[in-house]
Structure 1
């Protein structure tokens, strides 16, 4: 019945590894065309489902084993919960007839998984399987999307019984705010002299980019995102000023600080996106739009709250604003675009300079030039690879083409997730920019990419250290303890040992040729790892500002 449910829900791939193949895997083979993607670790199965859900916008399904297999899945499920992604995790669990007796790999899995999922449950009777599966898909994709965990006891899984026919879960429920709330918000927009729009992951989930762009153009609002909101729209749009919080640019922050109206779509405005809730325009009114009522006012109290789907709300607000004939939109549009143009020109001048040791900014700029449009950027989480977060050193050139981590920033998930991005969008280029620390947490999955002929490129910004923690040691004048890698892998050789192509780059003029070679190999279905030896502690200006002025580091 589980396989029947997966088929009915349109699941085309499952990610995981089996302990006992008579649970699920054999049924997948016998009774479906669902592709089974074998991974090297249960964490990887969830990481793949995370990225697959982000790109497709649909629930993605993974599976693992009891006991330690379940605990291995927890980190990536926590990240999916933080990033609001619909991931469904299955595990065969302790047999009901041995529960509490010290059974092999026994674990109270439901209690364990509750804090990191929207819903964790156990099938206690085989007849309830259709209901549980239908409920899982409904919960995962509705409201604020998120992960679901299902424990299937081993003895229950093998029982034969009559069951009701599986009925596919209803489509995602969307709704719009009331007309009075829209009218109140529109009145605030009309009064604003310098409005801005922030897009979070909820804008991506709702595929709201087109209507948000139309709204921004209609009122002359600068466009920003959180990391989770990247991909709402193409970042070469004339009103784009990058990201907020830790990821500000100088041009973007100045305009943000002077704004008098903030319109937020689908963001809880968490710690890094607001500098611990300190980086916020002091005189601005605030319109918060979110499909989840519990996210309204979570961190910053709105002047007007619009509870509803981001796309529908943007369309309704646009109609209301158009009816009010907002003034000075063209002037604002030109002001924002002038700021953008100047800042991009400044960054382009920086990117033309080749330095040794190689700068991370040079590398991500080259990735943008070589891979161009139709490229999915999969982010990792470290100091060096944050260059790929900082617009416009790297620009997401097409809506939907970005996979960030959530607020948990679990290292290694991007390295793994790039594989699923290629499976989900085979006609796209896929690049993951990772530090050497993140790569070492996930390098066992390079073989998974090779097995599935996933033509993807990992760009490893290699400084032989855990650069971000070490930067804090440098700022605080502490000894560099437990942050240097005294013995690092030869990543290029490691890639070749797993049937991928490996390239090592030590000279700045070899960066772009290496990336072009990688792209050619990718087009033949060959995964490539490009190991670039980079300078230590070469960070974007606002990254340095954030550490000193927001976190108060380096003041000794």
Structure 2
């Protein structure tokens, strides 16, 4: 049902879903309130309502949809505890810079303050976690409020917004007026003068390095970053959230930054004399272990659309603009052939070291997580999307080139908040955003356990997802921290050895396979992909040993652990 200029639409949910439909929203994730009006409204508006069994999962799904598509992910819930259940998802959306619109019900204005059923000051709960929050009390304010919500969610640094539609609007006539220009114009180019501090810093550098952040996820559809790096002879690295923004097969790409820096690439950080950070907040994991001089003697040029995104602890010019627009109009490059050759040599070393590590693992009798990732990469089509968690053992997928994003949008990762269960639920939203691409969720059993109530939701909405569940019997990261303590409190364990061989509940439409034999690994994954292509949800259960971890158990004073060699 589309809105008609100058007319009205009866009922707040009918009006809301109609306005969202006009804006191109084709999917809504959530669990509606008792009135269920939103279900019929979505049907009339031509939108698919993905009914989740857990409101937190619903928001995670909306975040996955938004990160993959670049369009607003919409979640819809009831009131009171339904709203508080969305808080973790909103935290993840805010830290992931995902354009999410959360709609909720609310207490009618005439009952507010009376201790009504499920009454809660929802604005006070939600406002600290979102870019903008509003409650609509008058019918005439509904349409302009929703249009503003869509603008705010996607403008500048994207993020979540919240709109409350109280119960007294359920049967009101909602006036609708035409809007001539629903979107905001964004300049395609930002010209930097030749004498700007940023231009001078890069021009004088002999060994530049590009750091690509999550803000560039949808800003590199035509390879502008790779072309810029080639022209300027610069190395390319990315943050974890920046994966999927660049083609990692580029010979100038040398892995992730900070905590996830490959050993062979550390020399580039030690030798660089200028870092150009594009769309990154320079979070702790992205800068962990940087050489002491980076950000002091070595300038870090930061390009971001919002001043609040700048990391002021690093010295260097700051450019307040869209990074893509800046790259497109940067002054003439200065080729640096010697440095580019060094960078390509590091890329080749990474590939060679990875191949040698995998060869040694193939000779061992046990199946390793690295071998599972290798098989996924070899068997699945190149346009696959890997949706990740951030636990002890699923972090193997962060290690380049063990997993390589061969094309745009090939990786969805949690934010710095690393909300447990995010990746498992987000995969449903990613699949809705990219229905023709293989979607694989690479998760630990602890994270999967928080999601598996919504396995039927994945089945009900087309399936086509492969879940690789690394089963160590619980929470491996916490167990590794416990093991590292000199004095261990008695009676505590975060792993249950009896649960290592467990599997999710058997459900119609869900195919479960135990991956235990490396000799049949490729064939098992090929069969899983064939089943997913036909619309099934496939759960690949992989028993793993806690020792098969990307990080050691050595921690001290809260510091991050050390990255060991594979195996």
Q: TM-score surpassing 0.5? A: yes
Equivalent of residue 518 in structure 1, options 522, 528, 540: 528
Note the 1:542-553 alignment, pairs <5 A.
Answer: 543-544=551-552, 547=555, 551=559
Deviations 1:423-464 (A, max 9, x none): 211221111110111111101121111112221111111111
Q: 1:10 to 1:553 in 2, by over 3 A?
A: closer
RMSD (CA atoms) = 2.3
Q: 1:272 to 1:55 in 2, by over 3 A?
A: same
Question: Which residue does 1:537 correspond to in 2?
Answer: 547
Equivalent of residue 453 in structure 1, options 453, 462, 467: 462
More deviation, 433-442/451-460: 451-460
Instruction: Find out whether 1:475 has 2:488 as its counterpart.
Output: no
Q: 1:517 to 1:162 in 2, by over 3 A?
A: closer
Question: Which residue does 1:416 correspond to in 2?
Answer: 425
| Counterparts of 1:447 and 1:68, CA distance in 2 | 23
SS at match of 2:448: helix
| Counterparts of 2:516 and 2:273, CA distance in 1 | 47
| Counterparts of 2:178 and 2:46, CA distance in 1 | 19
- Give unmatched runs, 5+ long, in structure 2: 1-14, 563-567
More deviation, 205-214/35-44: 205-214
Note the 1:35-434 alignment, pairs <5 A.
Answer: 35-165=48-178, 169-171=182-184, 173-174=186-187, 177=190, 179-180=192-193, 183-207=196-220, 210-275=223-288, 281=294, 283-296=297-310, 298-317=311-330, 320-322=331-333, 326-327=334-335, 329-352=336-359, 353-354=361-362, 355-434=364-443
Question: Which residue does 1:501 correspond to in 2?
Answer: 511
| Counterparts of 2:215 and 2:316, CA distance in 1 | 20
Question: Which residue does 2:9 correspond to in 1?
Answer: none
SS at match of 1:127: helix
Q: 1:482 to 1:397 in 2, by over 3 A?
A: same
| Counterparts of 2:195 and 2:525, CA distance in 1 | 48
| Counterparts of 1:284 and 1:128, CA distance in 2 | 51
Would the aligned equivalents of 2:219 and 2:245 in 1 still touch at CA under 8 Å? no
Would the aligned equivalents of 2:466 and 2:539 in 1 still touch at CA under 8 Å? yes
Q: 1:279 to 1:43 in 2, by over 3 A?
A: farther
Deviation at 1:482, TM superposition (A): 3.7
Q: TM-score, normalised by structure 2?
A: 0.91
Structure 1 residue ranges, 4+ long, deviating more than 6 angstroms after superposition: 276-280
Q: 1:380 to 1:552 in 2, by over 3 A?
A: closer
| Counterparts of 1:466 and 1:280, CA distance in 2 | 37
Equivalent of residue 527 in structure 1, options 514, 537, 556: 537
SS at match of 1:251: helix
| Counterparts of 2:292 and 2:53, CA distance in 1 | 41
Q: 1:437 to 1:299 in 2, by over 3 A?
A: farther
Q: TM-score, normalised by structure 1?
A: 0.92
| Counterparts of 2:203 and 2:557, CA distance in 1 | 34
| Counterparts of 1:168 and 1:27, CA distance in 2 | 25
SS at match of 2:74: strand
| Counterparts of 1:224 and 1:116, CA distance in 2 | 30
SS at match of 2:248: coil
Question: Which residue does 2:27 correspond to in 1?
Answer: 13
SS at match of 1:90: strand
Q: 1:499 to 1:490 in 2, by over 3 A?
A: farther
Q: 1:91 to 1:268 in 2, by over 3 A?
A: same
> How many residues end up aligned between the 2 structures?
543
